[in-house]
A and B are shown apart, each in its own frame.
Chain A
Amino acid sequence: MEFQWTRKDLLSLYDLEPREIEFILDTAAEFKKVSQRNVKKVPALRGKTVVNFFVEPSTRTRVSFELAEQRLSADIVNMSAGTSSLKKGETLLDTVKNIEALQVDLVVMRHSAPGAQDFIARHLTCGVVNAGDGAHAHPTQALLDIFTIRERKGSIKGLNVTILGDILHSRVARSNIWGLLKLGANVTVAGPATLTPREFESIGVRVCHDLREAVADADVVNLLRIQHERQTAGFFPSIGEYAKFFGINSDTEKYLKPDCIIMHPGPINRDVELSSEVADGPRSVILEQVTNGLAVRMAVLFLVAGCVKR
């Protein structure tokens, strides 16, 4: 199959055609083989410069991107909001324009404001990879989730995938929803009504507030981290009540089909949304997700870098 990748930016999965998503996943499968070799480094991005610009703090995503860049032989610069000029009052656009003026090829950016990457990408000729923007999108996380599902289940089409937790505030949920819908999965979002807006029904997602009903037919349950600050803001009464009604543990695990896998983008709140025995049990593919993240990010960086014209 002849397919030509044409985008210099990866901003969200909403923007992508199904075949583009499949192409990233296929490319990632090739890079995964590289990661399993004795020598894990390839010269694909040799001579290219990537700036990891994390305006919002991150540990795992940033490490994953950095490793992916190193294995592609790119030159790397890391910036965070603390070391950038944003603290001195420079605008975001001026900061990234300055980065670009240093002949950088790619900017990998995380930002707390939804749409921040869409905004800067419009003004830059270098490539932009979204490493998470507010509650909007986290495309590489969704791609690695979907990659992991595809590896385990063979194909996405027709699968029942339940995303459980704080959907309202989750960029991981939104990117998963778009990616999964585009590839033909049946998507359910579940959690307390305050965190699972019904508006998702308008795009063909099932919205469910009963754990048992939400997971009964699921081939995949993807759990999202529940943040304590949501309790403070009054979205639910207590972490204890959340865990009791919406957590996956040895009591609620019995609602799952025998072959249902458990996913989590991390970091896990052990014994809140997910009990240790399930997190560490045979259903869990959580560490595979982390491994696959590296291959997926290598694929994304490789593809978009190929479309940056300088």
Chain B
Amino acid sequence: MAEYLFNRARLIDPVKGTDRMGDLAVSGAFITGKSELKNPEVIDLNGKVLCRGFIDLHVHLRQPGNTGAETIATGTRAAAAGGFTSIVAMPNTSPAADNAGAIEYLRQTAARQGVVKVLPCGCMTKNYAGAEMTGIGGLKKAGVVAISDDGRCVQDHALMRHIMEYATSFGLPILDHCEENTLAAGGVMNEGKWSVLLGIRGIPGEAEELMVARDIMLLRRIRGGRVHIQHVSTAGSVELIRRARAKGLLVSGEITPHHLALTDENIKKYDTNYKMNPPLRSEEDRAALIEALKDGTITVIATDHAPHTETSKRVEFDEAPFGIVGLETAFAVSHTVLCVENKLPLPELISKFTAGPAEVLGMENYSLDAGNPADLTVLDPEMKYTIDKEKFFSKGRNTPFHGFNSVGAVLMTMVDGRKVYVNDDGA
């Protein structure tokens, strides 16, 4: 049984609220007490950060259906390189993960080919078409940790209400992509000054906010209901979530690193690596998102990792698919924007990658306590480097962050006591 002793580590544990220098012992697949070790490999961290492994609530692995863009093998290696030990796989594959068999396929393939933990998510409507509820009980039994129609939004409010109620029977959180279709129709970027100047069809912030408000309104009378708003992108959505949380509703939200770092002004050159849904918003929205992470309104950073082939992105802006890769740039970009530029304390950032998403999934005590799985991430918050898409493990090269000068890097990722990523540049 492999044993490791991390020496001189800065142990950051947001669940316990601790940030201290110390050692951490790993035996087999679990965190253990130092005295339990017999002959460990000693890893001297010399003050580098050690925390529980990152959890990404929002990843598109593209398998089955679009393995030219990504596979479970490549996507999980990209996750490992990003410090993620668990990733929630969105069900909008082809065919969609809307039945127990598809979940079983995902679990088996991930067990054989993946290097991090792939947590399945099932559709909440069949083929995420927004018309008929899936067999949510059967999905739960097959192992899903949440349900989501990500990529689309249920427009039928009565159906949504039933799904929210029914899901409580199985204790499953809903991860909701909030978008009102008539307002968003045909849009490919944020509606605002830049869409007007560039002549590009816009998606107004209200398209998201209406459905965030809808979800919150419906949630008020659903006992035990839990809704997590995916990729929150506007100041208005943040305000709705802030007020709902103040009233004690079980609503949470996630923000992507790209919405923290970029705005719609970046689309000036019609570069399709700035095209995603929800779109990059205005500078005012960006500021509100940063504030929401600082004041605790938003508890999760998630990537919405959406790989696409270079061919599919090398087209007219209107024609390009939505989405960018994010797993391998998430920590570097968010650390640079939030901690370096906006003075968010590092433990709070780590919480958005660990305790925050763990809470959404109902994972208890996601801490560094002995007995917990040795899912661990080692970080160097000072390391400066320039993001190079050619070094990605992901098949996707569709990133706007190629050449981005970042501060903060992932040095090592461990899943169940196995090293799944070691940064050769940093150690």
What is A's interface to B at a CB cutoff of 8 Å? 14, 91-93, 111-116, 118-119, 133-137, 168, 171, 174, 197, 199-200, 202-203
Contact = CB atoms under 8 A, between A and B. Distances in A.
A115 B314 contact: no
B319 interface: yes
B192 A136 contact: no
A199 B193 CA distance: 5
Nearest to B312: A91
A91 B310 CA distance: 12
A115 B193 contact: no
Residue from B196, B199, B315 having most chain A Cβ neighbours under 10 A? B199
A197 B269 CA distance: 22
Given A91-B311, A118-B269, A199 B319 contact: no
Interface of B: 192-193, 196-201, 269-270, 311, 314-319
A134 B199 contact: yes
B196 A119 contact: no
B270 A119 contact: yes
14 contacts: A14-B197, A91-B315, A92-B315, A114-B198, A114-B317, A115-B270, A116-B316, A119-B315, A134-B199, A134-B200, A197-B196, A199-B196, A199-B197, A200-B196
Contacts of B197: 14, 174, 199, 203
Contact of A202 (B193, B270, B314, B317): B193
Given A118-B269, A118-B270, A119-B270, A111 B200 contact: no
B199 A171 contact: yes
Given A93-B314, A93-B315, A134-B318, A115 B200 contact: yes
Contacts of B269: 118
Contacts of A136: 198-200
A134 B311 CA distance: 22
B193 A174 contact: no
B199 A119 contact: no
The 3 closest A-B pairs by CB, nearest first: A115-B270, A135-B199, A136-B199
Contacts of B319: 92, 113
B196 A114 contact: no
Given A135-B199, A174-B197, A199-B196, A114 B315 contact: no
Contact of A113 (B192, B193, B316): B316
A114 B270 contact: yes
Residue from B196, B198, B315, B316 having most chain A Cβ neighbours under 10 A? B316
Given A119-B270, A202-B193, A137 B314 contact: no
B193 A119 contact: no
Contacts of A116: 316-318
A115 B274 CA distance: 13
A33 to B, nearest CB: 34
Contact of A115 (B192, B311, B317): B317
Contacts of A92: 315-316, 319
Given A135-B200, A136-B198, A136-B199, 12 more contacts: A91-B315, A113-B317, A113-B318, A115-B270, A116-B317, A116-B318, A118-B270, A135-B199, A171-B199, A199-B192, A199-B196, A203-B197
A166 to B, nearest CB: 12
Contacts of B314: 91, 93
Contacts of A115: 198, 200, 270, 316-317
Nearest to A138: B199
A219 B163 CA distance: 61
Contact of B199 (A91, A174, A202): A174
A133 B198 CA distance: 10
Contacts of B196: 168, 197, 199-200
B268 to A, nearest CB: 9
Nearest to B189: A114
Contacts of A168: 196
A111 B270 CA distance: 14
Contacts of A174: 197, 199
A202 B199 CA distance: 15
A195 B198 CA distance: 15
Nearest to A170: B199
A175 B339 CA distance: 41
Contacts of B198: 114-115, 136
Nearest to B192: A199
A42 B199 CA distance: 36
A157 B95 CA distance: 61
Nearest to A116: B316
A14 B270 CA distance: 14
A198 B201 CA distance: 15
A263 to B, nearest CB: 20
Contacts of B192: 199
A114 B193 contact: no
Contacts of A134: 199-200, 318
A109 to B, nearest CB: 11
Contacts of A199: 192-193, 196-197
B190 to A, nearest CB: 11
A95 to B, nearest CB: 11
Nearest to B311: A91
B199 A137 contact: yes
Contacts of B311: 91
Residue from B198, B311, B314, B318 having most chain A Cβ neighbours under 10 A? B198
